[in-house]
Structure 1
Amino acid sequence: MDDAAILKRRGYIMGINLGEGSYAKVKSAYSERLKFNVAVKIIDRKKAPADFLEKFLPREIEILTMLNHRSIVKTYEIFETSDGKVYIIMELGVQGDLLEFIKTRGALHEEDARKKFHQLSSAVKYCHDLDIVHRDLKCENLLLDKDFNIKLSDFGFSKRCLRDDSGRLTLSKTFCGSAAYAAPEVLQGIPYQPKVYDIWSLGVILYIMVCGSMPYDDSNIKKMLRIQKEHRINFPRFKNLTGECKDLIYRILQPDVNRRLHIDEILSHGWVQPKARGLFSAATDKEGEPQGPMSPQGPRNPHGPLSLALTRSLSPSWSPRRHSLR
């Protein structure tokens, strides 16, 4: 029985193709029960690799059934057929994803970026408070609803954090996600704090929101890593970003994991909290620029406009050796 027939029996009228990979695809469908369109993720177990079936898919399904937050894509139903196909019925991002939105319309004004970034950060805090990490935060995984609100999606690399006997989070050793959004410790192949990895990705997303371009060029991973570790961030001068916004990005894209902001510190930052903006008291220089080893102000963004080519995926078996990092 084909997908359309299976979905029809469950009360869904299959629509257009939204995306397709080697062992999974996403379709739109109309739910006769809900009376609106949904997204259907269809995974073919017969085509999927063993590590995905044994580790990542069970984690994703478990986590999706736990999540309930206004800025996270809702999961309505999960079922499996006898021939090994898994169907995940989810909320549809009717306005597409954030990457396409920015590629089409350009960088967001700070007020709009603040609203969307607050929504995203709230979703990440919700997950982190449950000891759930996403590990693949990127603009393609941020869907937009009819009112252009953020909906965090794609928990394929997510996991529940483990703790040792003393209650401390154990380090992750699976190097997954997308290179352009990956923290330096992940690119180096060092066992990492997964929540802290998510924070770095938030910084990359915020930069893209307000600048309309990537903060780092991942076409040369070794060079990108060196720039990250030197804590160098170039902001396009013509964007006229506020000092508060630059300060937040600078503090999030902190290569020292012990100094990188936590999610609660992000949500309480003066830029994220509009009412507190006048009380902003973080260290700034006379021009309102964040202090650091290098001024994060540049004459232009050296990496150009957003490109899908700058989101190379790190597979679960990704190794830094493959990217000439020694």
Structure 2
Amino acid sequence: MDDAAVLKRRGYIMGINLGEGSYAKVKSAFSERLKFNVAVKIIDRKKAPTDFLEKFLPREIEILAMLNHRSIVKTYEIFETSDGKVYIIMELGVQGDLLEFIKTRGALHEDDARKKFRQLSSAIKYCHDLDVVHRDLKCENLLLDKDFNIKLSDFGFSKRCLRDDSGRLTLSKTFCGSAAYAAPEVLQGIPYQPKVYDIWSLGVILYIMVCGSMPYDDSNIKKMLRIQKEHRVNFPRSKHLTGECKDLIYRMLQPDVNRRLHIDEILSHCWVQPKARGLSSAAINKEGESSRSTESPWTPDPISDKKSPTKLEPREEAGPKTSPEEESVEVSRQSETLGFNGERVASEPEEGAPQPPQQPSETHS
């Protein structure tokens, strides 16, 4: 039977196509039982790679079945047919994803960003408390419900963290995610703490929320890594961000994994708290003072129409326009994809490729 017939027998009337890949697609459908529209992720085992079928799909199904949080997309049903197709029935993000929202409306005001970021951070705390890590946090994976509340989705790279005999979390060696949102330790191929990796991605997401642009230019991974490791973060002057907001972003985009904020510290940060506002300059200076640089390492890249960032497909072994002053946002330049045994990895642009223009900005360093 085709997908429509399979879904019809389960009580779903198939609707439009929401997305499609080489071995999976997402459709909308109306649930006759629930009386509202849902999203249906359909995975064809016959077309999927072995690594995905043996490792990532079982993890995703196990984790989806255990999660229950108001800011995480609900999973209503999972079933499989005899011809090897897996159907995952999920909550539908009726207002689209955060990336499209920012492309359409521009950077969020801090009050709106605070609300959405608090929802996202609450979802991540829920996951981390269960020793579940997402490992692919990005704006495309943050859906919006009818009231524009955040719904975290796509747990395809998620996993349950293991602990050693002393109770400490073990390091992860699977390098996955999107280069534009990936922490420097992941880009370098260093075994990493997966919860700490999620925090870096949260920092990138908050930056995009309030600036409407990417914090780093991922068209040159080597240069991007150097800037990240020097702990330099540029903020467009036109956005007039508060010191508390910049301080939180700066502490999440901390290259030293031992100093990067934990999720509880994020939720208790004065910018995230709805009432406890007002961070002294001394508190900011303790970590890093907001200052103007004589030379900006990079101007934040406007969000371009290219949907997906450079992907760091999972692999087990470590491996080696527009001014920011403008309010119009298009999605980020998320650049090179090079083959590595059929997998895509981050890369540098060809020699002589044009670099982003230097524009005035503020630098947190």
TM-based fold match above 0.5: yes
Partner in structure 2 of residue 314 of structure 1:
312
Equivalent residues of 2:236, 2:300 under 8 A apart:
no
Please give the alpha-carbon distance, in whole angstroms, between the structure 1 residues aligned to 2:79 and 2:168: 35
Write out per-residue CA displacement over residues 55-81 of structure 1, whole angstroms, 9 at most, x where no aligned residue: 000000000000000000000000000
Q: Alpha-carbon deviation of 1:310?
A: 6.8
**Cα drift, residue 17 of structure 1:** 0.2
List per-residue Cα deviations over 1:128-181 (Å, max 9, x = no partner).
Answer: 000000000000000000000000000000000000000000000000000000
Match of 2:299 among 294, 299, 302: 302
The equivalences for 1:156-171 within 5 A come to 156-171=156-171
Aligned partners of 2:69, 2:295: CA distance in 1, in Å?
38
**CA displacement at 1:291 relative to structure 2:** 2.4
Alpha-carbon distance in 2 for matches of 1:124, 1:297:
37
Aligned CA distance change for structure 1 residues 137 and 182 (closer, same or farther; 3 Å)? same
**Cα distance, 1:296–1:12 mapped onto 2, change above 3 Å:** farther
Letter of the structure 2 residue corresponding to residue 305 of structure 1: P
Partner of 2:288: 291
Structure 2: which 5+ residue stretches go unaligned?
Answer: 321-344, 349-365
Alpha-carbon shift at residue 294 of structure 1 (Å): 6.4
Alignment CA distance shift 1:42-1:147 (3 Å)? same
Give 2:362's aligned residue: none
What is aligned with 2:52?
A: 52
For residue 174 of structure 1, what is the amino acid of its counterpart? T
| Contact 1:218–1:310 (8 Å) recurs in 2 | no
Deviations 1:289-314 (A, max 9, x none): 97259658998971331133671111
> Are 1:24 and 2:24 an aligned pair?
yes
The answer for the alignment partner of 1:153 in structure 2 is 153
Taking structure 1 as the reference length, the TM-score comes to 0.94
| 2:271 counterpart of 1:261 | no
Matched, 1:211 2:193: no
Q: TM-score of the superposition, structure 2-length normalised?
A: 0.84
Partner amino acid, structure 1, of 2:75: T
Native 8 Å contact 1:236 1:301 kept in 2: no
Higher helix share: 1
% identical equivalent positions: 85
Mark the CA change 1:290 to 1:210 in structure 2 (over 3 Å): closer, same or farther: farther
Aligned residues: 322
Distance 1:239 1:159, change over 3 A: same
Determine helix, strand or coil for the equivalent of 1:283.
helix
Question: What is the Cα deviation at residue 202 of structure 1?
Answer: 0.1
Q: Aligned equivalents of 2:319 and 2:290: distance in 1? A: 27
Code of the aligned partner of 2:23: Y
Equivalent-residue separation in structure 1 for 2:11 and 2:105 (angstroms): 36
Distance 1:240 1:27 in 2: 40
The residue aligned with 1:246 is 246
Which residue of structure 2 aligns with residue 124 of structure 1? 124
**Contact persistence 2:311–2:346 (CA under 8 A):** no
SS in 2 for 1:274: coil
One-letter amino acid matched to 1:20: E
Distance 1:101-1:2 versus aligned 2 partners, 3 A rule: same
Kindly provide the amino acid, as one letter, of the partner of residue 139 in structure 1. C
